[in-house]
Amino acid sequence: KAGVTQTPRYLIKTRGQQVTLSCSPISGHRSVSWYQQTPGQGLQFLFEYFSETQRNKGNFPGRFSGRQFSNSRSEMNVSTLELGDSALYLCASRKTSGGHYEQYFGPGTRLTVT
Amino acid sequence: DAKTTQPNSMESNEEEPVHLPCNHSTISGTDYIHWYRQLPSQGPEYVIHGLTSNVNNRMASLAIAEDRKSSTLILHRATLRDAAVYYCILRQNAGNMLTFGGGTRLMVKP
């Protein structure tokens, strides 16, 4: 079974631009969560999507947004990029049936803002 | 959110057992205890989780104190591949959000 895939793996953007990151969950997983990882703040929860609806949201500004499609694939968007947005963005999927709570993480997208 | 406290780092010798402690004194009755680990240059990987009883799986064992204010992740025979940052996380029963702390960096010596 293929794992969680994220594209692109690396990205360099300039301050003020916007960026869209993509995540394909494991087949059959309907919940997708996004996390930001930085050396200073560690791993922080951004948001979770299930059945195309945002279920939870972390403490991030409105510049960070996301969506989920009917095939469970998810995208996150960051507008008006700031230098502090440089981070590893991780996507995780979860099988929601049968009481499964373990999340499966992708390799991440490393975003560098210059 | 309830918080967890873990040592910043620990060392172990290869093929010896490792006990990684976690304190969570403000845990609520419905919080699940999850452990994830993150190997270098990879996303976090699920290890184990439990609520009240001790749990075993092919990767590790989780020992939960009777009052649930602490838990210990046990790797029965550490290998070099187990060198990673181990995160102890409390997950609220009602949600799927994971709140990661600083974790414990485990170093395994050959």
**Interval B93-108 mean pLDDT:** 84
For chain B, the residue count is 110
CA A79 to CA A91: how far, in whole Å? 18
Nearest C-alpha neighbor of B45 from the set B14, B2, B82: B82
CA–CA gap between residue A65 and residue A72 (Å, rounded):
16
Tell me what percent of the residues of chain B surpass a pLDDT of 70.
95
- Average pLDDT for B88-96: 78
- Chain A CB contacts of B100 below 8 Å: 35, 42-44
Interchain contact, A42 vs B102, CB within 8 Å: yes
Q: How many CB atoms lie within 10 A of CB B8?
A: 9
8 Å CB contact between A91 and A98: no
Q: Both tokens of residue B21?
A: 């402690």
Instruction: List CB contacts (< 8 A) between A105 and chain B.
Output: 42-45
Give the model confidence (pLDDT) of A57-89 as tens digits: 999 999 999 999 999 999 999 999 999 999 999
pLDDT for B28: 87
B contact residues 53-82, partner A, Cβ 8 Å cutoff: none
- What is the per-residue pLDDT for B2? 61
Q: Which of A27-41, A97-111, B15-29, B30-44 has the lowest mean pLDDT?
A: A97-111
Chain centre to alpha carbon of residue A103: 13
pLDDT value for B41: 87
Question: What is the C-alpha separation between B105 and B66, in angstroms, rounded?
Answer: 26
Residues 10-29 of B with CB under 8 A from A: none
Cross-strand partners of A64: A78
- Give me the pLDDT at residue A38, please: 94
**CA angle at residue A6 from B58 to A82, to 5 degrees?**
120
- Over residues B42-48, the mean pLDDT reads 94
Contact A46, A76 (CB under 8 A): yes
Q: How far apart are CA A69 and CA A18, in angstroms?
A: 20
Q: Yes or no: say if B76 and B85 are a contact pair by the CB < 8 Å rule.
A: no
Q: What's the pLDDT score for residue A34?
A: 97
Mean pLDDT, rounded, for B60-69? 96
The pLDDT value recorded for residue B93 is: 66
Cis ω before A8 (30° cut-off from 0):
yes
Mean pLDDT confidence for B86-93: 87
Task: Write the CA distances from B65 to A54, A60, B33, B69, integer angstroms.
Answer: 35, 35, 11, 7
Distance CA A25, CA A72 (A): 7
What's the pLDDT at B98?
83
Instruction: With cut-offs at 50, 70 and 90, classify the pLDDT of residue A96.
Output: confident
State residue B22 phi and psi, 5-degree precision. Answer: -150, 130
Task: Express each pLDDT in B26-39 by its tens digit.
Answer: 898 888 999 999 99
The per-residue pLDDT of chain A, averaged, comes to 94
pLDDT at B94: 63
Please state, in angstroms and rounded to a whole number, the distance separating the CA atoms of residues B109 and A101: 33
B21-27 average pLDDT score: 93
What is the number of CB-based contacts under 8 A between chain A and chain B? Answer: 54
Greatest mean pLDDT range, A88-92, A96-100, B98-102: A88-92
- Give chain A's length: 114
Q: Given a cut of 60, is residue B1 above it in pLDDT?
A: no
